[in-house]
Amino acid sequence: MTTTLRPAEPLQQHEDGTRSRRYRVCVNSRPVGVIHLATHPVFGPAVARIVDLRIDEPDRGRGRGTVAALAAEEVVRGWGCTRIEAEVPAAAEGALRLLTALQYTQRNRNLRKTLGPAAPALPAGSRGRPMTDDEYGPWLEQGKAGYARSWTERGVPEDEARAKSAADHARLLPQGRATPGMLFSVLEHQDTAVGTLWLATGTATGDGRAFVYDVEVDARHRGRGHGRSLMLLAEAQALAAGARSIGLNVFAGNTPAERLYDSLGYRPVLYVLHKQLL
């Protein structure tokens, strides 16, 4: 039996410069699933995405998804793409195994935690306060550079990483520090600034879930538990804003952060994987 991809629509050209196309996964002309491919809205036309890949229940476990994913790589090579990415829900264990077997590498994952009824207390001597205007400018520039660096350290070309950092910050902070639903805080310990926090409340995300966009301990004060204190501050602020849960992104290989989030009860909800196309 031969598994192939057959276009289900014409090639779509979108206003943001991306292209996409849906295909039927077929076995000897019999439809057994669907796959949706697109180029990346930020990384550009050289980066493809598997937006959706589903095999019908009766045909699962027969290698149809594997062949479809490999065929997708050939399609996007024809588009001129040199990298392909996919987002996989944590519950989709089969899809995660499939892409891992095809040599996709996990780059980052989203974590989430359901918040309890009571706000956690900060350790003695620690307190959070709003970031000042004078602090915001330098913090933003350092944050943009650090965010871009996180991508380049994981194989994303520098120009793509910088473009993503600029685009993400512009999208999330259209009014800068005054953007509704965004909180910018400084953690102090014994009256010394030791770290910063950027939290989107449920109001900003629009779904009642808070999200930690940036948490950073000053290099001079690391290894003293301030990262945990910043996360406790984030949870307290999220609860005060009426959020029911809190999420964040962590890059693969950031072992100290991964251990901290795991100890605080954060669990994976989404994996992002990528593969270079030879």
The domains spanning 3-81 and 113-269 adopt the same CATH topology: yes
Domain ranges of the chain: 3-81, 113-269
Residue in 230, 233, 177 with CA at minimum distance from that of residue 204 = 177
Q: How far apart are CA 165 and CA 9, in angstroms?
A: 33
Mean pLDDT, range 73-102, rounded to an integer: 96
Give the model confidence (pLDDT) of 168-204 as tens digits: 999 999 999 999 999 999 999 999 999 999 999 977 6
Q: Which of 31-40, 150-159, 203-212 has the lowest mean pLDDT?
A: 203-212
Give me the pLDDT at residue 2, please.
85
Q: What is the mean pLDDT of residues 53-59?
A: 95
Residue 2 φ/ψ, nearest 5 degrees: -115, 125
CA contacts within 13 A on the Cβ side of 148:
19
Share of the chain above pLDDT 70, in %: 99
Fold of 113-269: Aminopeptidase (3.40.630)
In this model, does residue 21 exceed pLDDT 80?
Answer: yes
Region 229-256: mean pLDDT is 95
Joined tokens for residue 234: 């984030």
Spell out a b/e string for 168-191, using b for 16 or more CB atoms within 10 Å of the CB, else e. Answer: ebeeebeeebeeeebbbbbbbbee
Amino acid code (one letter) for 162: R
More confident residue, 4 or 202: 4
Distance CA 168, CA 136 (A): 17
**pLDDT recorded at residue 176:** 95
Q: Which CATH code fits 3-81?
A: 3.40.630.30
DSSP class of residue 132? P
Task: Write the pLDDT tens digit of every residue in 146-178.
Answer: 999 999 998 889 999 999 999 999 999 999 999
